[in-house]
Amino acid sequence: MNILFIKDLNIRSYITLSVIRQKILLFCVALSYIIFLNFSQTEQGQLVNPLLLYTRVIPTFVIFALTIALNVGRRFPQSIRELFRFPSIGVFWFLFVSILWGFVQNIQPLWSAWKCFEMVVVLYMGISIALQCREQPGFFFKVVELVNILSLILCLWILYLRFVVQGYSIEQLIFLRLNTEVPKMNAINLSVISAFGLFYNCIKIRRTTFFRLLIIVVFLLIFIASKSRTGLVVILVYILFWSVLHLRSSWKIGSILLGLGIGSLVVNQQVLEVLRISDRQEVLTLGGRLSSNVNETGAWPETLRFVERNMFIGLGNINLSRFLDEKRFAVDNFFLQSILASGLFGSIIYFAVLFYLAFWWCRIVFSGALRSNGKGPLIKIVSILFIIAFTRSLTTNDLAFHGFGFLLFVLLFTIYINRRILRYELQ
């Protein structure tokens, strides 16, 4: 009896400790979400908003302390091994080299080091989540659900500011491009956050409810108001993915692609203007990234010209247009920003990680076994994370700094590090 009592007590203690670990990790995820919400304000290049300390600096150190504390004991050696193992090592090496080049070049080295430290903290948080998922695979769904809830709160806050505080009408919300000041969020960020919410909540629908439909409407309003072509690409790529996953016959997939093509030709001109795709030249030049009406050379060629003088030496993980006063440079591309930060010497492994994960996931998604069995929520949710993270890497530098795209990318590491989660789905 005493032995049975001790065993039962040990099991209960283990369950209690596991629940506490989960809650602490969810708290860290919430803090990491708050970190990339920009509450800073500048006047003449100087930060003047004290909220930056409480919404970015302190939360980063809190996450760092909590994740270290959670892994004290047998988990700590495991977490360190995962940090220096593929795929984490690619990101860690990029950040380490970026910090070194920042001090060598002496261009805002502390700013560069801090940005890299934020990413290391979030990366280590993702490793801690992966270790927790080894014991409880269902914990991954709780993390993604929390990201969905935080995204919904953000969208509701934006709608409150527009409708209640600023007195916008529905027409003004739709036809005026959405950018917010508190927090300072651009339209691209809002579009991918709302696209994530749209897809996630559509996947989670088991029966149609008024509350679930209301959530989808909130995300849809923010998506339309953002008028971002990046968000539109995310939508189209996911529709194509869904078609390939669910429709085995090639003629059905072809019909959907043909329908999308014809629909883009006959759709109302006003709708095209709302989506910012009515100007063919603007779309073909990727919003001035490839070329400009004023200057034949666009932002990406200008940036390439700047870094090609020495591709192997970086400047540190800095904002080029902000700290070098080069306004013509807009490094809205993860690959360009990575080469700028750490050179090919530091970024090539990060690129390899990105492409390998893409190949690995495509092989899983389009395998014959998965096509028949893998129509559950995990496959679709992880595919959303992949599509958003990779699309963001092309049109923004999000994966080179901590943002919504990097947070989703870290959650992808959780799946790769802990690949048994896939078996949890396919059983």
Q: In 3-state terms, the chain is what percent helix, strand and coil (to 5)?
A: 75, 0, 25
For residue 184, give the 3-state DSSP assignment: strand
Task: Answer yes or no: is pLDDT of 4 > 50.
Answer: no
Report whether 227 contacts 276 (CB < 8 A).
Answer: yes
Confidence band, pLDDT 50/70/90 cuts, at residue 396: confident
Alpha-carbon distance of 400 to 59, in angstroms, equals 20
**What per-residue confidence (pLDDT) applies to 399?**
84
Task: Answer yes or no: is pLDDT of 94 > 90.
Answer: yes
Rg (CA), the chain: 23
**What per-residue confidence (pLDDT) applies to 15?**
61
DSSP per-residue string spanning 360-385:
HHHHHHTSHHHHHH--SHHHHHHHHH
Token pair, residue 412, equals 């992808």
pLDDT cut 70: percent of the chain above it: 70
Model confidence pLDDT, tens digit, residues 137-150: 889 989 999 999 99
**What per-residue confidence (pLDDT) applies to 69?**
92
Q: Is the dihedral of CA 396, 402, 405, 411 positive or negative?
A: positive
Which range has the worst mean pLDDT, 82-96, 114-128, 316-330?
316-330
CA-to-CA dists, residue 182 to 37, 41, 134, 226, 261, angstroms: 9, 9, 38, 16, 38
**What per-residue confidence (pLDDT) applies to 278?**
47
Confidence band, pLDDT 50/70/90 cuts, at residue 373: very low
**What per-residue confidence (pLDDT) applies to 50?**
64
Token pair, residue 257, equals 């692609």
Q: Where along the chain do its domains lie?
A: 2-426
**What per-residue confidence (pLDDT) applies to 45?**
47
Task: Answer yes or no: is pLDDT of 269 > 60.
Answer: no
Which range has the worst mean pLDDT, 74-78, 157-161, 166-170, 254-258?
254-258
More confident residue, 152 or 249: 152
Token pair, residue 302, equals 């200008």
**What per-residue confidence (pLDDT) applies to 413?**
85
Question: pTM above 0.85?
Answer: no
For the stretch 104-107, contacts whose Cβ atoms lie closer than 8 Å and that sit 24 or more positions apart, written own/partner, are 105/314, 105/315, 105/316, 107/315, 107/316, 107/318, 107/323, 107/324
Going by their DSSP bridges, the two strands 42-43 and 46-47 should be labelled as: antiparallel
More confident residue, 137 or 425: 137
Which range has the worst mean pLDDT, 40-49, 83-92, 101-110?
40-49
Which range has the worst mean pLDDT, 16-25, 310-319, 374-383?
374-383
**What per-residue confidence (pLDDT) applies to 255?**
57
- If you average pLDDT over residues 248-274, what whole number do you get? 52
CA-to-CA dists, residue 351 to 91, 94, 198, angstroms: 9, 10, 29
Confidence band, pLDDT 50/70/90 cuts, at residue 240: confident
Alpha-carbon distance of 264 to 45, in angstroms, equals 43
Q: Is the peptide bond before 59 cis (omega within 30 degrees of 0)?
A: no
CA-to-CA dists, residue 362 to 164, 355, 427, angstroms: 44, 11, 20
DSSP per-residue string spanning 286-299:
TTTTS--SSSSS-H
pLDDT cut 90: percent of the chain above it: 18
Alpha-carbon distance of 58 to 64, in angstroms, equals 10
For residue 38, give the 3-state DSSP assignment: strand
Which range has the worst mean pLDDT, 127-141, 265-279, 390-404?
265-279
Task: Answer yes or no: is pLDDT of 369 > 50.
Answer: no
Mention every residue, 6+ apart, whose C-beta is less than 8 A from residue 238: 195, 199, 383, 384, 387
More confident residue, 153 or 392: 153
- If you average pLDDT over residues 346-359, what whole number do you get? 89
Report whether 268 contacts 278 (CB < 8 A).
Answer: no
- If you average pLDDT over residues 320-340, what whole number do you get? 69
Alpha-carbon distance of 409 to 280, in angstroms, equals 32
**What per-residue confidence (pLDDT) applies to 257?**
57
- If you average pLDDT over residues 50-75, what whole number do you get? 87
**What per-residue confidence (pLDDT) applies to 150?**
94
Alpha-carbon distance of 317 to 60, in angstroms, equals 18
Listed residue (385, 388, 402, 389) closest to 59, CA to CA: 402
For residue 315, give the 3-state DSSP assignment: coil
Backbone angles phi, psi at 43, to 5 degrees: -135, 120
In this structure, which amino acid lies at residue 412?
A: L
Task: Answer yes or no: is pLDDT of 293 > 70.
Answer: no
Alpha-carbon distance of 191 to 197, in angstroms, equals 10
